[in-house]
Amino acid sequence: MKNYRSMDTELIHAMVQPDEKTGAIAQSIVPAVAYAFPDCETAADVVTGNKEGIYYGRYGNATIKTLEDKIAYLENGEAALGVSSGMAAISIAILAYVKHGEHVLVTKDVYGGTHKFLTTLAPRFGISYDFVDCTSMDVIEQAIQPNTKAIYIETPSNPCLTVLDIRDIAKIANLYNIPLIVDNTFMSPYLQKPLELGANVVVHSATKYLNGHGDVLAGFIVAKKQDIHHMRKNVMGDLGQVLNSWDAFLILRGLKTLALRVHRHCDNAHAIAHYLETHPGIEKVYYPGLPSHPQHALAKKQMRAMGGIVSFEVKGGYQASKQFINALKLAMISFSLGDPETLVQHPATMTHSSVPAFEREKFGITDGLIRLSLGLEEAQDIIADLEQALAQLSQNITT
């Protein structure tokens, strides 16, 4: 499904229109759970899928349908499924393609929630997994087993911002007839379109940039229409991971300003990354927009811009990182990202605390690593906050 107007325009206008009866421009909110039918035959046809329609709120409603259509359109996909959280999207996508006795291949530096699902819940379903270095095509191909039924990646990764070559990985997945699932949360469809690069499935935590205001939990899966139908009927519906209409409305509203917000997030991240890289108190900076990033050239080729997340290590390791975070005044300590506020967190003890220490180290998630989600504030105000925290840290070290 190709978009012909600019992405900035489509974020506002695509798949939505004024209400036919009232002329209202804002999307209506349909909270209904139950739906009436003129006769038993019609009800049966809707349940079996022989006739288009909604028969129970656990499988969606009109407000959610509008949002699903819009997300699918923005990702240039056939269909989308809106669910109750980013983790719901991730787990549904994996469970839809991988069943008991089968295997999933996963990029090594992955979101802590994804890691926990794969290491604790997936084995209870009889699903095996391997975390591998997906920057190497040879490593990926060698790790594929006869029962591998999906390859799962996120790019840029959380929290080390490793950029993976979606097009090349998709070629390998296609060669072995394995679906490639891409977590596109950090980029949003505004900055990256995995389906256009050959991926089969895209997942989002809409809690982050798609909504953009820190007041919604939601997730999305974009894939072929028949796959989304299977997920809706046989995974999401049965597990009860349905999105609600109010949150769908808030995301539809949030999408209208996604272009404006993403530009500011990216501009701030770019300014802060350059500031940190030149500061003597910083050990290392992870940001695809820096020429020092190992996949900088790939990022420029694959992504429209470099995103709003910067990860870095202060000199002094674990204790220094905690002291630095605690000294911040503008940036808020939080588990989320993509909000108007600048948010900071310590992956080793927060988002990735469920990952064993030896694995964190292997994945590049050191005890001194800090993840910064740049908000919409003035860049100089964020830099001033970082500066005063680094000055306090320097003072503590010298005394």
pLDDT in tens, the chain (399 residues): 455 689 999 999 999 999 988 999 999 999 999 999 999 999 999 998 899 899 999 999 999 999 999 999 999 999 999 999 999 999 999 999 999 999 999 999 899 999 999 999 999 999 999 999 999 999 999 999 999 999 999 999 999 999 999 999 999 999 999 999 999 999 999 999 999 999 999 999 999 999 999 999 999 999 999 999 999 999 999 999 999 999 999 999 999 999 999 999 999 999 999 999 999 999 999 999 999 999 999 999 999 999 999 999 999 999 999 999 999 999 999 999 999 999 999 999 998 888 888 888 888 888 999 999 999 999 999 999 999 999 998 776 655
Residue tagged active-site, from 70, 149, 193, 208: 208
Sequence-distant (≥ 6) Cβ neighbours of residue 261 within 8 angstroms: 209, 212, 340, 376
The number of beta carbons lying within 10 Å of the beta carbon of residue 378 is: 11
Query: What domains can you pick out in the chain, each with its CATH number?
Result: 7-30+61-255 (3.40.640.10), 258-398 (3.90.1150.10)
Residue tagged active-site, from 58, 116, 256, 304: 58
Residue tagged active-site, from 70, 108, 109, 111: 111
Active-site residue, 267 included: no
Residue tagged active-site, from 97, 108, 129, 183: 183
Q: How far apart are CA 210 and CA 206, in angstroms?
A: 5
Active-site residue, 315 included: no
Where do runs of H (alpha helix) occur along the chain? 7-13, 40-48, 62-74, 86-97, 112-116, 137-143, 166-175, 188-191, 225-231, 237-239, 245-255, 258-277, 296-302, 317-327, 357-362, 379-398
Active-site residue, 45 included: no
Q: Taking the model in full, what pTM does it have?
A: 0.95
Sequence-distant (≥ 6) Cβ neighbours of residue 101 within 8 angstroms: 126, 147
